[in-house]
Structure 1
């Protein structure tokens, strides 16, 4: 029976002088892992990116039952004088390999045979490591070919004062106490957790005899498990770890940002190319620095380190095109150090880059002329992007109408402007698009270039609101017929419960737009293909399209 925890939570101050001098695990000052990058080593020894898996998506899939929902308990000894209790839900490494492969934007990679078995190896990279190391490299046999356990009685029979196994009642010898711990063994497996919680304990005299050493499932029952320090790699104890008093806490890795699969028989995969090295430009005003990243490879995703306290950490935050605002107080010397990397599914890349940035001049930030788009709103920079690049204008001199529906005519006009407003030689071909309309040339251009089709009525329906699937389809055709950009990215949209609602004509464009990062789900499980797109939402998607096509 599980009992309410009555013991004292261990504060590090309480063990000062009791434990050997150790370096505490780095706290990332609020940084968590937003996206996990999953690579595979090909026959040429190159690391090819298989997929970019958002942690939020893993959490949603877990809660939706698409990931094994089993609760796992872990008991471990720390380098301090304490025991540690951990609880977690998530993937075994073989399960993650399959899951992450299915998340690839490349259909060829989704169809590839990837395994984690026998002598296949996995390498784990935390956000606070400078690179792969041997401690983080495991074969499948090392992880799953060895019997591993959770030991609930470890908490009862570990004496933090002597750092030895002992019976608090004095009835058992040391060896008998160890025997009792071993009898409590529950088989457990190494896990890459999505939801987790852990805590160190010091078992006090007042705790002995209460039976509350049985802490299994306590954090789950208390509703404390979250994704704050995940993905987290959990490695259970072996019998030898237990009898040898091994400190296995170091094997519980927080913030796993990158996994590299190195199969004994490397898969037949040819990288589609090598992503160019990203760069950044920094400007400033009186209070802040403004960093904008770029990459010469079309369609590459850029990640940057958003932890300004520890700028050498692995980059895990995806760059959206907005300036990254950095308070000058974080870098009073005038030089900003950040890490970043540019990646693309199916491609190799240059790895983590460390940029040392100095200001190139004053920040000439866009000042909104619209009273309904003010500084601080989520769409401010996106509206600034489409305004400054003359892609979209306001609905009035001082109004952008960010929450108004985006019309089909307005989107055709925006894409026409993005293409440079080329000359059009003939009419629109649609009876409901007058030749004198402000958008007539745009609709004619879009029709001639296969960017738009008519509606069921036989016309263009210029004033009709654009749906998300129509927008995605027009983006796809623009990329294919006008920008001549990368069309290999795609996404398996079956993860969305409403994918079947999308029209058959729209699914290819939706798959591409989601894979390219231009269109996101309205939630982790819903795509809302028939849903309307507002002007602000469209501005943000146009900004991403501009970043994608370069």
Structure 2
């Protein structure tokens, strides 16, 4: 069966015989592309004084996503933030709006701004962005925030593997991080000792205030000197690997944001002269109060990182448009970002990309694979690249009596874009049809009475499997369906959206009138109603305005969600247990300790191999099915 794309509105199926061979054909019309509304593609924020001069030592950053333009940082009340932004339809036209502190509140003014909403584009192809200023604060007096130089480390063995001899530690020091200063400003608080003054919070919770600064300065401070605390964020960059595998080069970097705290009597940032721990300098006026403090970044940071020339060019020697960054988090989550490459052989090459998910290990690689999927049930097509690997494919509405199970593509059913699927699409070279697969509601999902006899629809679930009874139980209860008509995918990772959907089904899929304020939960997604219900009943919370529905749920998150659901149902949640018996019980996040103690005491969660609890580890669909069976058997009486 082949699909033929034609211009006029026809859809014809049929068959014919030639030379004794029967052929089936299908002529399909791909829908004409619907014009996409204009949208913001880049934005930056700069602090300026009343005369429009750039201000150093104050921090502001802007991030854009899901209809929200969010500003963060700290500035003096006399200054302002100028936001520059470009849109898809007018990338060369820089547009601005201004944020000022007036009447004890931040306000945004500018063209196309109305009631805190910025509208871009020309009707009808417009997009509205809510301008969120809640992340802005006034910077306390005598505290400044200014970025420091990156600190790179390239082991000699790896340096010898890099054929670009101009790429070295000095080159990596040129790394820039827009938004890092605004993140570091979170370490600044108003002083509890003296009104109008500021203090800096260190990694261990200790606070550095003016008195501490004066004590550290010692003889460098005179009674009439003004003392300034400077927070200096920087990136600690270690090159972990650089090699070629199957003809593909990649650069692996471990990047950790850190900050120093400096006390100084200098009146300007450029005048600071730090007294070294050993040796001497001329006219020192500053001391290092704290060095190498670890910093958690929760806001977007745009990185400009030098890369070797080999990673900047494609096989033909031209500047590549296919550089991607694979971001591996310590909890196993993986994100992929598209990078933009600029530069030349003489000045070197720079990879620019935005990091919305904090810092850890980043791998830069070239991946030219591209493909197009045509979704028959949605009558729409979508382009896919390496950046989409691991993301969910679109989901159509369920139909009466049936539940959507996935998209059948080339004989296999998918719910996510996989590396293997992208490879197939790229090799095909033309749009590939994805056929929607629906299963009847006897096979999972959606509530209802338990069937008298269960017929196992899943080829990957056998009676000898340890999870067989759990899958049978939860499928009969219609808590779990399959990832395809004949697949349960027991070893697939359970996501936050999946878990909340299971609880919503357990509750009988109640309707809810409120919509949760999560920027990443779209109304069209299958988990939208479950998330709205769970949030309305305080069963789940979010992360800085996001729910992260596609992220794997950790074991401690699962314990917290189940604990809250049990409390919401007024079940007896008095069970508890110590976590000290587990080798890693102490690694449970402080906010989840009570939840994990309950989950262990109630018999919901058991330890893993080597007597570990793995609170930050993820859970498979089979493991969650087992836990849900325990939960139902303990609390729910038929």
Comparing both structures, which one devotes a greater share of its residues to helix? 1
TM-score, reference length from structure 1? 0.33
TM-score, reference length from structure 2? 0.29
Comparing both structures, which one devotes a greater share of its residues to strand? 2
Greater relative contact order (Cα < 8 A, sep 6+) = 1
